[in-house]
Structure 1
């Protein structure tokens, strides 16, 4: 079994923490349901226009784990064009 981590920094179209929370909660919930990944907001909790989200998956091979996370990234970009991805890091744990 192999574990892979995807960290994404996003620029959000929100002005308040309440708006940010709604966006982040929606993205995390939909990612969990669609890709069966563990995910959380890892940093930037008090900044309404920025978020750092982490997604983790377990797969039988490194290639499959990275493929799942790449699909997730592509899905997020196409599904939420209002969110701007400013940084992406993928690593094997």
Structure 2
């Protein structure tokens, strides 16, 4: 069993409140869960309205598959116009 963990730091420039931030993140998390069957949660900076840190996890039998899924998830995040990807850190366990 291989577990892939990816932490992404996001900047949400158009967000003017925590409500705006939650709307953007809710949509993004739903998209990632539905498309890639990832576990996704906001893990830091919940009280800041233009910054978010998401943690994503993927479990599979093959490390190559885990890497591919996390890479595709990062590409989806990069394609969302409402957020800017500041940093991403991937780790296989």
Query: What TM-score, normalized by structure 2, do the two folds share?
Result: 0.94
Q: Deviations over 1:1-25 (max 9, x none)?
A: 1000111000002010010011111
Partner of 1:83: 83
Checking the alignment, whether the CA contact within 8 Å between 2:40 and 2:56 is kept in structure 1 is yes
Output aligned runs, 1:1-93, within 5 Å: 1-12=1-12, 13-78=14-79, 80-93=80-93
**Where does structure 2 lack aligned partners over 5 or more consecutive residues?**
none
Q: Distance in 1 between matches of 2:30 and 2:11?
A: 18
**Where does structure 1 lack aligned partners over 5 or more consecutive residues?**
none
Shift, 1:62, TM fit: 1.2
Runs of 4+ in 1 over 2 A off after TM superposition: none
- Number of aligned residue pairs: 92
Query: What TM-score, normalized by structure 1, do the two folds share?
Result: 0.94
Shift, 1:81, TM fit: 2.3
